[in-house]
Amino acid sequence: METDKELESRIDEILVAEKENKLHRMTKRDYIIAAIITAISLLGIIGGFFL
């Protein structure tokens, strides 16, 4: 029961933190970098067919 209350209060705290942008989120720039790395990896894999 104590854990249930703790759980609910934690969820509320996280939702508030999310609403107030207090979480360290991935930025658009981070996603773009991830996409570039993914694309380079894919090109490398395709290139491997020609070795």
Partner 1 sequence: MSRKHDVNKEIENEVYCGTLPVLPKERKYGFMDALLVLSGYCIATWSYTQGSYLATLVGFKQLLIGAFLAAIFMLMVYQLPVIMSVRYGIDIWIWLRSVFGPKGNKIVTIIIILVNFPWYAVCCELFADSMENLLGLFGIQLFNGAHLVLSLSCVVVGTIIALRGVSTITWTTRILVPLLLLVGVAVVVVGFTSVPMDVIWNYQPQLAGDADKTVNYVLNIEANFAFVITLVGGMAEVPRLCKSEKSGYYAGVLGQGAAGSFFVVVGAVMAIAMQYVTGQMVDDPTLMMATLSAPILGLSSLLLVAFANIGTQAVGSYIYGVMLKSTFKKISYKTLVLVLGVYVALLCVWGKITEYFGSFLTIGACVYAPLAALLFVDFFLIRKQKIDLKSAYELPGHNAYRYSKGFNIVGIICLALGFGFTLVIYDPIQGIIHNKILFMLTPTLASFIFTGVLYLLLSKIPGIRRYIRRDTYASPDKRPFDRAKVPPRQNIFFLPLMWLLCKMAVSPYKLKIDKHNMEGIKPPFLVYGSHNSFMDFYVTPLALMPYRANYISELEGFENFGEWIYRQAGCLGTRKFINDQSLIRNIARVIKRGDIMVIYPEARYANVGTNSHLTPSIAKLAKMLKVPVVTLNMQGNYLQQPIWNLKERKGARLHADLKCVVTADEVSKLSVDEILGRISKELTYDEYKYQLDNKIVINDEWRAEGLHFPLYKCRKCGKDFAMTSSGSKLTCKYCGDSYEMDELGQLHSSSGEVIHIPDWYEWQRGFVHEEIREGRYKLDIPVRVEALPNSVNFVDCGIGRFIQDNDGFSLEFDNYRSEKHETLKFPAKSMVSLHTEYDYRGKFGPCVTLSTYDDTFFIYPTEESKDVFNPTKIQFATEYLGGLYS
Which residues of this protein are in contact with partner 1, per CB under 8 A?
2-4, 6-8, 10-11, 13-15, 17-18, 22-26, 30, 34, 37-38, 41-42, 44-45, 47-49, 51
Give min distance, CB of 8 to partner 1, in A. 6
Give min distance, CB of 20 to partner 1, in A. 11
Q: Judge contact between 17 and 23, C-beta under 8 A.
A: yes
Give min distance, CB of 13 to partner 1, in A. 6
CA angle 17, 31, 22 (to 5 degrees): 10
* Backbone angles phi and psi of 28, in degrees to 5: -60, -40
